[in-house]
């Protein structure tokens, strides 16, 4: 197998929620593989700083939870700059509290941020990909797509939905030449998990629970993203790839 199968030169990749954390790491990795990256987020100042740190690429500020805003931003970029060949739906949030006390508004916000955003941006980009007969969509799921922990039941529900929406995208859009897959990270040292990383008891539990015996590093997600973005995954569709140090494989 030629290494050229993984070359992303000449392709554009939109990564939502990419001003920090996993999104920024994936954008940086895709750029290193040759892609021209498009950073997305709601905070234009933070996006600008991320783009300057990356040293390349475009910024596209819009709220992924707003269906019309996502459509307008994607349509304008396609018309003014060019095709979006790869979409990484990374925008997401977490909220932790026991289910019996979980605020209804926080539940709705999780649904909008973690699920509606995938539908909104996925549909906006896919319409152009369908017209071209090619495209890659990668949704960021989670170990919570398959597992649950106390205090995050609504988050678990949203990530289960992302896994099934990925299957639905593949089922509807594979016939048009699109490959739609998901990456399910385990526990990674990111701003979203800062409170857990800082908790010695949780880190000790995680190290015992995970066969690899440690937190993941965000750069360890890059290879999976490049694979699913490249020609190397031309017949991979509707799949969720767990990158979790083995946590979903063991009791």
Residues 6+ apart with CB under 8 A from 250: 211
**Residue 155 annotated to the active site:** yes
For 39, the token pair is 């950073």
Q: Is 71 exposed, middle or buried (0-12, 13-18, 19+ CB in 10 A)?
A: middle
**How large is the angle between the packed helices 67-80 and 117-132, nearest 10 degrees?**
30
| Catalytic pick among 155, 176, 187, 242 | 155
The closest of 235, 216, 246, 21 to 146, measured between CA atoms, is: 246
CA 77/CA 80 separation, integer angstroms: 5
For 152, the token pair is 């995050």
- DSSP for 78-112, please give it: HHHT----EEEE---------GGG--HHHHHHHHI
CB 14 within 8 A of CB 125: yes
The closest of 247, 250, 191, 242 to 221, measured between CA atoms, is: 242
Residues serving a catalytic function are 155
């Amino acid at each position: 197998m030629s290494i050229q199968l993984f070359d992303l030169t000449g392709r554009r990749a939109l990564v939502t929620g990419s001003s920090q954390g996993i999104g920024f790491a994936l954008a940086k990795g895709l750029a290193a593989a040759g892609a021209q990256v498009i950073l997305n987020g709601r905070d234009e100042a933070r996006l600008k700083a991320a783009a300057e740190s990356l040293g390349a690429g475009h910024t596209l500020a819009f709220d992924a939870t707003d269906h019309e805003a996502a459509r307008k931003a994607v349509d304008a970029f396609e018309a003014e700059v060019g095709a979006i060949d790869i979409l990484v739906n990374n925008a997401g949030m977490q909220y932790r509290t026991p289910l019996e006390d979980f605020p209804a508004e926080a539940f709705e916000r999780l649904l909008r941020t973690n699920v509606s955003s995938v539908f909104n941006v996925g549909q906006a980009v896919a319409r152009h990909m369908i017209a071209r007969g090619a495209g890659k969509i990668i949704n960021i799921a989670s170990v919570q797509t398959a597992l649950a922990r106390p205090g995050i039941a609504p988050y678990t529900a949203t990530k289960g939905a992302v896994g099934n929406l990925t299957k639905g995208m593949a089922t509807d859009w594979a016939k048009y030449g699109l490959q739609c897959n998901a990456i399910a990270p385990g526990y990674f040292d990111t701003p979203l998990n800062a409170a857990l990383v800082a908790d010695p008891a949780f880190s000790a539990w995680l190290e015992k629970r995970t066969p690899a015996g440690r937190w993941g590093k965000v750069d360890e997600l890059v290879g999976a993203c490049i694979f699913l973005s490249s020609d190397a995954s031309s017949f991979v569709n509707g799949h969720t790839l767990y990158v979790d140090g083995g946590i979903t494989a063991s009791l």
